[in-house]
Amino acid sequence: MTRKFDFLVIGSGMAGISFALKAAPYGKVALLCKTTLDESNTSFAQGGIAAVTYEPDNFEKHIEDTLIAGDGHCNLAAVEKVIREAPAQIQELLRWGVDFDKDENGLFDLHREGGHSEHRILHHRDNTGYEIQQSLIRQVRANPNIEVYENYFAIEILTQHHLGEVVTQHTPNIECYGAYVLNQQSNHIHTFLAKVTLLATGGIGSVYATTTNPAISTGDGIAMVHRARGVIQDMEFVQFHPTGLYQPGARPTYLITEAIRGYGAVLRCKDGREFMQKYDERGSLAPRDIVARAIDNEMKIRGHEFVYLDVTHKNAEETKEHFPNIYKKCLELGIDITKDMIPVSPIQHYLCGGIVVDLNGKTSINQLYAAGECSCTGLHGANRLASNSLLEAIVYADAAMKDAIKQIDTIQYNEFIPEWDDEGTKLPEEMVLITQSFREVEQIMNAYVGIVRSNLRLKRAMNRLEILYRETEDLFERSVVSREICELRNVISVAYLIIKHALRRKESRGLHYTIDYPKRMRNEP
Ligand code: FAD
Ligand code: SIN
């Protein structure tokens, strides 16, 4: 079955929904999500969204903090754009009904997180993402121009390749005509033709065995663009959040927001001693890459599996009021955070790299835009500043929409795209092969491509992955298409790109630390 839309939006987190809402006045929008409308990284966000709101904060300080965290690898134009456009996008969120916490004087209650020189994080208690996601969903449900497709899994973006042409990374004008999409209820593959397609498929946490990300985070958009020969960059910069709640076997790992350190919590070893000053004068509030590496080091030196985060010295009632969900979650596990220290360890959390986009959110493929965590704008450089991610998603979704609507009337649907060809793919796949290979990818990534890397570990990871790649491609050719096999292919592609880019970088910078090249080589702009 073929459907036609002016805008095809793949992903219903902050980036996808905000684009859909803004594009809807200009044409028909299809909004796809692989599970339900509310299952996204966005829903999980705790700390909040960074934006300059009141003096003494100003744009220059937020820009400076972002550049410092990014360790000399940020794109200055992207940084300037996101930070200067933040206040207008916050107003948009408020218009859509997002409720950010205020103090007793009616002013926004701003939190502070690692790497920020000022209090500038707008938040809704400690579940800001859920508040944003629900507010945006209410707007989507009320919008007649947006058709929501839940449980629709995008398999491939459509390009000239699907018209029989050979497409390589040197093909001068790769075009995107929409996507092949699996309806997971009927198991039919539909052709969604679109004038403009936005990839907003979020993170890649499922490539690792332990992550704060929900299971949907298999890097599908990045893998699709890689297969379509688009440009992907900076995949080596995988962010590990310093303070995932230590709870072996939990998936996803529950996050203990960085805002709690902004509020005064400190990191301690198991013996109760503070250690962060040894690593950085900003202590527990240093940027994430530094704190995560320091914890990793302390754990390795002592042979411990976690360190403690201590907020017991703060006023108990205030702690409960600011962090009600964390308080409740920990209490369920027998930890009263007002009296007990919280066991934490670093955990995969975010990807700074991804699908390269310009300042208009355009990818290297025509008619294809990307926004949010799947994209690489250059804002984060080698290490993302806390709470800059939701902000980037909404700013770039806005930029993509503004660029797309300028061209939408001049773009034609490509009516020559054939229906998905499933000839010869009749074997019902053996699920055990898929789940086992998935577990192997996660284990390889956790073991060899973590916070501290080396050439030996990366090469070992690549060798193991190559076997899984060959086996999976073979299985894919012969099997009935399912979400599971597609996700396996995607995590293998993403893992491959992370390792390849990590091997290429002959220095340590930001989130990429290797014992073979422990120094930063040159200062980038
Ligand atoms: P997501 O919100 O992840 O949405 C992805 C969407 O893509 C989903 O709807 C999914 O169904 C869909 N999708 C994926 N693949 C397919 C496919 N093949 N077919 C169809 N649909 C598909 N950032 C901050 O700035 N501040 C915070 O406080 C913060 N806290 C965080 C806390 C946690 C626990 C986590 C995990 C992340 C946090 N982040 C935070 C990061 C931030 O939440 C994410 O980077 C951001 O929400 C990403 O938004 P997105 O729109 O790009 O993608
Ligand atoms: C957190 O609340 O610590 C997460 C913030 C982020 O990932 O930006």
pLDDT digits (tens, 9 = 90+) for 293-308: 999 999 999 999 999 9
Does residue 525 register a pLDDT over 60? no
| Nearest ligand by distance to the CA of 123 | 1
Q: Which of 326, 401, 344 is nearest to 128 (CA)?
A: 326
H or E element at residue 155: strand 152-158
Percent of the chain at pLDDT above 70? 98
Beta strand 232-233 with 354-356 is antiparallel
Domain ranges of the chain: 2-237+352-410, 243-346, 432-514
In this structure, which amino acid lies at residue 493? S
Ligand 2 contact via 217 beta carbon (within 6 Å): no
Tokens of 412: 């034609």
How much is the average pLDDT of 435-447? 97
Tokens of 372: 């949010």
Same fold, 2-237+352-410 and 432-514: no
pLDDT score of 422: 72
**Cα gap 194→466, rounded to integer Å:** 34
Ligand 2 center to 486 CA (angstroms): 29
pLDDT score of 425: 59
- Are 295 and 122 in contact, with CB atoms under 8 Å apart? no
pLDDT score of 402: 98
| Nearest ligand by distance to the CA of 40 | 1
For residue 275, the SS3 value is: coil
Catalytic positions, please? 288
Best of 387, 392, 394 to mutate for ligand 2, by most ligand atoms within 8 A of CB? 387
Ligand 2 center to 48 CA (angstroms): 7
pLDDT score of 373: 98
Query: Cis before residue 324, ω within 30 degrees of 0?
Result: no
Q: In this structure, which topology does domain 243-346 adopt according to CATH?
A: Flavocytochrome C3; Chain A, domain 1 (3.90.700)
Q: What is the pLDDT of residues 471-508, one digit of tens each?
A: 999 999 888 899 999 999 999 999 999 999 999 999 99
Q: In this structure, which topology does domain 432-514 adopt according to CATH?
A: Methane Monooxygenase Hydroxylase; Chain G, domain 1 (1.20.58)
For residue 310, the SS3 value is: strand
Per this entry, what is the length of the chain?
525
Percent of the chain at pLDDT above 90? 95
pLDDT score of 428: 61
Atom of ligand 2 nearest to the CA of 256: 3
Report residues whose beta carbon is within 6 angstroms of any ligand 1 atom. Answer: 10-16, 32-35, 39-42, 44-49, 128-129, 153-154, 200-203, 212-213, 216, 220, 255, 350, 372-373, 387-390, 393
Q: Which of 269, 264, 346 is nearest to 311 (CA)?
A: 264
CATH 3.50.50.60 fits 2-237+352-410, yes or no: yes
For residue 47, the SS3 value is: coil
Tokens of 460: 């070992």
pLDDT score of 429: 62
Angle at 219 between CA 218 and CA 225, to 5 degrees: 145
Ligand 2 center to 497 CA (angstroms): 25
Ligand 1 center to 516 CA (angstroms): 33
How much is the average pLDDT of 185-204? 97
| Nearest ligand by distance to the CA of 114 | 2
**Is residue 169 very low, low, confident or very high in pLDDT (cuts 50, 70, 90)?**
confident
Question: For the chain, what is the mean pLDDT?
Answer: 96
**Is residue 424 very low, low, confident or very high in pLDDT (cuts 50, 70, 90)?**
low
